[in-house]
Amino acid sequence: MALQAGFVGCGNITDTHARAAREAGLGIAGFHGRDLAKAEACAARFGGRAFARYADLLAHRPLDLVVIGTPSALHAEQGIAAAESGLHVLTEKPIDVTLAKGEALVAAAERAGVRLGVLFQDRLKPELVRLREFVAQGGLGRPLLASARVKWHRPPEYYSASNWRGRTALDGGAALINQGVHTVDLLLWLLGKVTRVKGLAATTLHAIESEDVALALVEFASGAVATLEATTAAWPGYPRRVEISGTEGTLVVEGDHVVAADLRRPAPAGLVSSGAEGGVAGQTATVADATPHRRMIEDFVRAIETGSTPACDGREGLRSVAVVEAVYRAAREPGLGVA
């Protein structure tokens, strides 16, 4: 019998999670959301039951895991409740909005002996996997410098129609912890541990509590350094772009694809994409293709069934939150004045 999944949230991302789970062959046990009508709509579309109370979903059987797609500041609380019910937990990024809350979820999963995963789907995208292998094998030489730009656009209603986006208590911030956190995780995955950051954050366009522009300078334990930009105020919105330079050349990523490899030696076959990357993610929060999420769910199921570690487990998921917290903390420090 296929593992049975319950879904928490019932917004746009839960629709993606449920589509991905169905494609991965998971059984769909039910849905819980703050708005029961949305949970009922999800159940009507995908199967399973709608639950008005989260506790009732957790008590339902058969049920093996929950997939959490609620506002970011609820991830740890809901994940802990699931773990204490003996259920495996796969949560949307970030693991939560503070390192302390994320650590509490990791500890709860470890106590309960359940698997915990965080949906950073870059880690299973084929071209990015090949990129990481190439960097890890020394193909770029010693990494020296990276620049990462997440210059996306979100319309005013993206925030005004939401009761949590851009609100510090529930989103933890905005452009960096929500949109930019995927790229923070990508940099950590490619280049290793971060030891020092400097940061700047501003609210330039949107009527929100938190930042719609964040800038960071990042230093890695290896000695490599990076710049990071994350914004939801860049009309019309562009694909994420990451450039990494090492002693043996430079690699360029747009969106999910390696689009250029300027190397001292010929690039290996398959490293550089032959397709063009569109700007869809930079312009809309809607996920049309659930394939990256499906890969993450399939990987998580393998981890449950084999006792292996998910592509991004809870401890890996903590790393990006630690960096984001450090950037926010640095951004609150008074800067040097200019005469």
The DSSP letter of residue 86 is T
If asked whether residues 307 and 223 sit together in one domain, one would say no
Is residue 204 exposed (0-12), middle (13-18) or buried (19+ Cβ within 10 Å)? Answer: exposed
Q: Are 3 and 64 in contact (CB under 8 A)?
A: yes
Q: Is residue 146 part of a domain?
A: yes
- What's the pLDDT tens digit per position in 274-288? 765 545 677 777 788
Q: How many domains does the structure of the chain reveal?
A: 2
The pair of three-digit structure tokens given for residue 100, joined into one six-digit string: 């302390």
Q: Is residue 254 part of a domain?
A: yes
If asked whether residues 206 and 155 sit together in one domain, one would say yes
Question: In this structure, what CATH number is given to the domain that contains residue 31?
Answer: 3.40.50.720
Strand order in the sheet with 116-119: 49-51, 27-32, 4-8, 65-68, 88-92, 116-119
For position 335, what pLDDT does the model report?
A: 84
If asked whether residues 201 and 307 sit together in one domain, one would say no
If asked whether residues 297 and 281 sit together in one domain, one would say no
109-128: burial string, b at 16+ Cβ within 10 Å, e else: beebebbbbbbbbbbbbebb
| CA 102/CA 307 separation, integer angstroms | 22
If asked whether residues 118 and 65 sit together in one domain, one would say yes
pTM for this model (two decimals): 0.95
If asked whether residues 66 and 174 sit together in one domain, one would say no
Residue ranges of E strands in the chain: 4-8, 27-32, 49-51, 65-68, 88-92, 116-119, 143-151, 194-202, 213-220, 225-231, 241-246, 249-254, 257-263
Q: Which of 238, 264, 285 is the last residue of a domain?
A: 285
- Ramachandran angles phi, psi of 88, nearest 5°: -70, 150
Q: Is residue 333 part of a domain?
A: no
If asked whether residues 279 and 152 sit together in one domain, one would say yes
If asked whether residues 307 and 227 sit together in one domain, one would say no
Q: Is residue 338 part of a domain?
A: no
If asked whether residues 88 and 224 sit together in one domain, one would say no
Q: Dihedral of CA 24/25/29/31: which sign?
A: positive
Is residue 315 exposed (0-12), middle (13-18) or buried (19+ Cβ within 10 Å)? Answer: middle
| Closest alpha carbon to 222 in 190, 248, 252, 265 | 190
- What's the pLDDT tens digit per position in 99-151? 999 999 999 999 999 999 999 999 999 999 999 999 999 999 999 999 999 99
- What's the pLDDT tens digit per position in 175-213? 999 999 999 999 999 999 999 999 999 999 999 999 999
Question: In this structure, what CATH number is given to the domain that contains residue 280?
Answer: 3.30.360.10
Q: Are 319 and 106 in contact (CB under 8 A)?
A: no
Which residues form the domain of 223?
133-285
- What's the pLDDT tens digit per position in 4-53? 999 999 999 999 999 999 999 999 999 999 999 999 999 999 999 999 99
Q: Is residue 127 part of a domain?
A: no
Q: Are 8 and 33 in contact (CB under 8 A)?
A: yes
Q: Are 232 and 150 in contact (CB under 8 A)?
A: no
| Closest alpha carbon to 139 in 293, 264, 299, 295 | 264
Mean pLDDT over the full length of the chain: 96
- What's the pLDDT tens digit per position in 244-295? 999 999 999 999 999 999 999 999 999 998 765 545 677 777 788 999 999 9
| CA 39/CA 28 separation, integer angstroms | 13
If asked whether residues 247 and 167 sit together in one domain, one would say yes
For position 139, what pLDDT does the model report?
A: 97
| CA 297/CA 197 separation, integer angstroms | 32
Q: Which of 266, 285, 304 is the last residue of a domain?
A: 285
Tell me what percent of the residues of the chain surpass a pLDDT of 70.
98
Q: Is residue 157 part of a domain?
A: yes
Q: Is residue 337 part of a domain?
A: no
Q: Are 142 and 149 in contact (CB under 8 A)?
A: no
Residue keyed to tokens 């999420």: 293
84-104: burial string, b at 16+ Cβ within 10 Å, e else: ebebbbbbbbbbbbbbebbbb
If asked whether residues 223 and 197 sit together in one domain, one would say yes
Q: Is residue 339 part of a domain?
A: no
If asked whether residues 271 and 138 sit together in one domain, one would say yes
